[in-house]
Copies of this chain bind each other. A is one copy, B any other.
């Protein structure tokens, strides 16, 4: 079992309750990464569903979550031939961190698309992309150590005082440990990039209010390509869209989140 599988493990207590242990390894200076929380909740949802694949996940983030034991509580809303619908929440001591609605279905891993757009932005090759400098140990950005990301250089220009001036963030992504991507890794990948607003000059913790992502195909082994952008920064709010392409050139996930601008 990989570290990621272990950290997202959901142990069935009964039909509606799963025990989880939120892992400090996925924290970002204290709070846990939202994608990691979604992955953990989706383990329970998929286990309890007649369908294995979380095709559509809407997550509303109520409170910052910190490491330690917690529960996933499920309500089955519908179980159909094509799709099942589940309400899920991540709770500790009766207080919910995240509330989610999830549609599960059974995807055909071998289906060829009827129609597909290409990536919205062309990425340079892996060899022309760059790593972020190692985070200072004191910052407790444990999350960064759990994955390898190779960035499209202009989109991390903000690190050296050269933001591009528009919301964007792009990188190749894989787990630091040898594990092929699966739908749970994708749940984390859609929330793994630095906030797109850093490239537009913003700073500071940018709390996600809502994130919806769709699983569009089962990912092939190898690197994922994350292409993040946004359309509007206004009134303290911004949107962030991430498209995830697999090594076979397929669109495997699409996300959009609405988040608050940091005050940093």
- On A, residues with C-beta under 8 Å from B are 55-56, 58, 60, 62-63, 77-78, 82-83, 85, 87, 96, 99, 101, 103, 105, 107-108, 111-117, 166-167, 200, 209-210, 212, 214, 216-217, 230-237, 239, 243, 251, 254, 256, 258, 260-261
Contacts and interface: CB of A to CB of B under 8 A. Distances in A.
Main secondary structure of the interface of A (DSSP, over half): strand
B103 A210 contact: yes
B212 A234 contact: no
Contacts of A217: 234-235
Contacts of A116: 231-234
A83 B208 CA distance: 12
A214 B239 contact: yes
B243 A216 contact: no
Contact of A233 (B77, B115, B261): B115
A255 B234 CA distance: 17
12 contacts: A58-B101, A60-B85, A60-B103, A87-B87, A101-B210, A113-B232, A115-B234, A117-B232, A214-B256, A231-B254, A232-B251, A256-B256
Copies in the complex: 2
A235 B62 contact: no
Contact of A234 (B99, B216, B230): B216
A243 to B, nearest CB: 7
A173 to B, nearest CB: 19
A116 B87 CA distance: 34
Given A87-B99, A256-B254, A115 B167 contact: yes
Contact of A216 (B113, B210, B232): B232
Given A210-B212, A260-B82, A254 B239 contact: yes
B113 A258 contact: no
A101 to B, nearest CB: 5
A200 B116 CA distance: 11
Contact of A114 (B55, B231, B234, B251): B234
